[in-house]
Amino acid sequence: MKTWQKMLISMLITLVIGGAYLFSVWRHRQNPGVIPQDNTRQTLSKDDLVVMREFFPMHFEDTLRLEGTTVWMKNGYIMPYYLYSGGHVQFAKRAGLIPAAQRLDVKKIVKQIAPVGEDDSVGHGDRQAFAVFALPGSAALYATPIGSIQGNDEAYYCDMLFYYDDPHTIYDYWPRDVWAAIDAHQVKQGMSELETEMAIGHKMHADARTVGNRTVTYDQAGKHWTVTYVKNRATTIKSQ
């Protein structure tokens, strides 16, 4: 066999092997096998998709936009409120804790020094900022703290404390019987954790971190509720 024939045969063998390899690579890329599915995604509920107004106040002047507006308490049974008269917050006349979803008609925002020993859930600083408000059907004025001022440092919690729209309209898809229980500050079977918080407040202790599958104890201004949730529905309710 001549030299050129040997070279030709060797070249043909190389082309066949290379072609077979390229064909196998092509077939593999066309059929990469089973692609693992991501089963960790969670379906968002309507409650998760709710968008609430916020305005991120940084200075006292920012909070003045609340004057003449209506807000609703978001952190129920946590924030104290005091009689407001004579242009001052009357710390000696503490009226109680503001209920969950309570409507507040804000009249003005003021600054005042809080007594050293007064625990009102907001840092004292040099002065505190207060929302002065009226309750529906009442001529009396009350005040609750919304922030503190320490020198040039200011901290305001309006977005954490208030709904700026009626929660009845924010969660207008909740059933009527649920809203009836919320308005009566009661808990009924089948309510979610969020619906329960709307009814009896956020002062709570849970036995686990998985929201919707745990037992939670609530302190509703001295009245205690123990609620067990399964799949985010109240199944067992005890009050004392």
Return the pLDDT at 39.
52
Query: Taking all residues of the chain, what is their mean pLDDT, rounded to a whole number?
Result: 88
Any alpha helices (H) in the chain, and if so which ranges? Answer: 3-30, 46-49, 60-63, 158-161, 167-170, 176-183, 193-200
Question: Interior CA angle at 191 toward 190 and 195, to 5°?
Answer: 170
CATH number at 49-163: 2.30.30
Instruction: Give residue-wise pLDDT tens across range 125-140.
Output: 999 999 999 999 999 9
Q: In sequence order, what are the beta bridge partners of 230?
A: 233
Return the pLDDT at 209.
82
Model pTM? 0.80
List CB contacts of 116: < 8 A, sequence separation 6 or more. 124
Backbone phi, psi, residue 63, to 5°: -75, -15
Report the pLDDT averaged over residues 62-77: 97
Instruction: Give residue-wise pLDDT tens across range 138-168.
Output: 999 999 999 999 999 999 999 999 999 999 9
Burial of 47 (0-12, 13-18, 19+ CB in 10 A): middle
In angstroms, the CA 198 to CA 183 distance is: 9
Residues of the chain with CATH 2.30.30: 49-163
The closest of 156, 172, 178, 168 to 70, measured between CA atoms, is 168
DSSP helix/strand/coil, 48: helix
Written as six digits, the tokens of 78 are 């946590």
pLDDT confidence band for 57 (50 / 70 / 90): very high
In angstroms, the CA 194 to CA 219 distance is: 15
